[in-house]
Amino acid sequence: MIPIHDTLPSKRYPIVNIGLILLNVFFFLAQLSRGPTIDQFVYIYGLVPARYTVPEIAAYFSFGQQIFSFLSFMFLHGGFLHLLGNMWFLHVFGDNVEDHFGPFRYLIFYLLCGMTSGITHLLLNAYSNVPTIGASGAIAGVMGAYLILHPSARILTLIPIIFIPYFVEIPAFFFLAIWFVLQFLNAAGSHADMSGVAWWAHVGGFVFGILLLKIFDLFPGAGMTDRVRPSIERKRTRRMQTIRTTGVQNDPNLYGVLRISPYESMTGSRKLVNIPWSFHNRLYRIETPPGVREGKVLRLKGMGRAVSPHERGDLLLKVVIGDHEENGSDPNYRRFNR
């Protein structure tokens, strides 16, 4: 299962989340630049449990190097696909968690989750001499927080069946619960030295993310987010949207809502929308012209219900301008589709 995006748009630009993705890419390129000394580089800046438990190995490292590895290991990766997978999950789930915390507390939350995942791996693989690298543990913490914050959100998920891609909306609770169970089963049934994956770091990061969310919410913020809020408010709605359509009996047309921001109503917009059709989901490009007004109806020919083998109704999308979390909760949406 590959998550494409969630149906819950963030209200502000996730500046820290984007910054973390860029930092991971930067350090991955720095890692590749080491050439033949890359293994030594990973051993120094990765997290190696034996460096902390075997005195003969620990003697080669300073106290500062030992502490710094708990931070640096989460910015290194084992390959391009490892980096791509981690950064994609961070992109999908991180923006909404940053929305909840604000940029400054989110950064602290992310780093603490990553360090805790490393400690979990160290405690359960104390004498391993294999370096552990990757942002998976920190991202697992973000996913744990997302589970608690937005369990009813839906995740547009790509499920490849043979060579056919299927797009299915899955409740966030279900998606993340399955993910966690798979991590736990892999952790319980394998050894880090054998599998090459620090499964317990994923489990530890996920659980700690939930606990840390509860702890952070007990204490009020310092107000720094309020100071930067005007500069990080989104001017545009999410480029990719999911539109749930409804219809009326004996009416071949389908109806839905396209959400845009006030800025986009003036400048125009281009959206990639996902429209569920039973088990199948289809993706379409839709443009709104500059100066479009609230309530404008866009008619998409031939995208409604089948009337005959050669004839279909239309899809009518009502333009809604403003901040609505989900189409289904928008009163304009319900009125339009009655």
Query: What is the pairing mode between strands 306-308 and 269-277?
Result: unpaired
User: Which phi and psi (to 5°) does residue 273 adopt?
Assistant: -110, 145
Rounded Cα–Cα distance for residues 297 and 258 (Å)? 9
Q: Which of 252, 281, 253, 258 is nearest to 271 (CA)?
A: 258
- 75 confidence band (pLDDT: 50, 70, 90): very high
Q: Please, what are the domains in the chain?
A: 2-231 (1.20.1540.10), 235-336 (2.60.260.20)
The continuous run of DSSP H or E covering 5 comes out as strand 2-6
Q: How confident is the model at residue 325 (pLDDT cuts 50, 70, 90)?
A: very low
Q: Are 207 and 143 in contact (CB under 8 A)?
A: no
Structure tokens at 272: 């990639």
Q: What per-residue confidence (pLDDT) applies to 238?
A: 72
Asked which of 82-96, 98-112, 232-246, 258-272 is least confident by mean pLDDT, the reply is 232-246
Q: Quick check: 32 and 42 in contact, CB under 8 A?
A: no
The answer to whether 247 touches 255, Cβ cutoff 8 Å, is yes
Mean pLDDT of the chain: 84
Question: 131 near 74, Cβ under 8 Å?
Answer: no
Q: From CA 262, how far away is CA 290, in angstroms rounded? A: 11
- Cα(188)–Cα(223) distance, integer angstroms: 42
Kindly give, in sequence order, each residue whose CB lies less than 8 Å from that of residue 113, ignoring residues fewer than 6 positions away: 137, 138, 140, 141, 142, 144, 205, 208, 209, 212
Tell me: pLDDT of 333 over 90.
Answer: no
Residues in CB range of 296: below 8 A, 6 or more apart:
288, 318, 319
Q: Which residue has the higher pLDDT, 122 or 272?
A: 122
pLDDT of 331 higher than 60: no
pLDDT number for residue 117 = 93
User: pTM for this structure?
Assistant: 0.76
Q: What was the pLDDT predicted at 329? A: 40
Beta carbons of 3 and 175 less than 8 angstroms apart:
yes
CB-side neighbour CA atoms (13 Å) of 102: 16
**Average pLDDT for 37-47:** 93
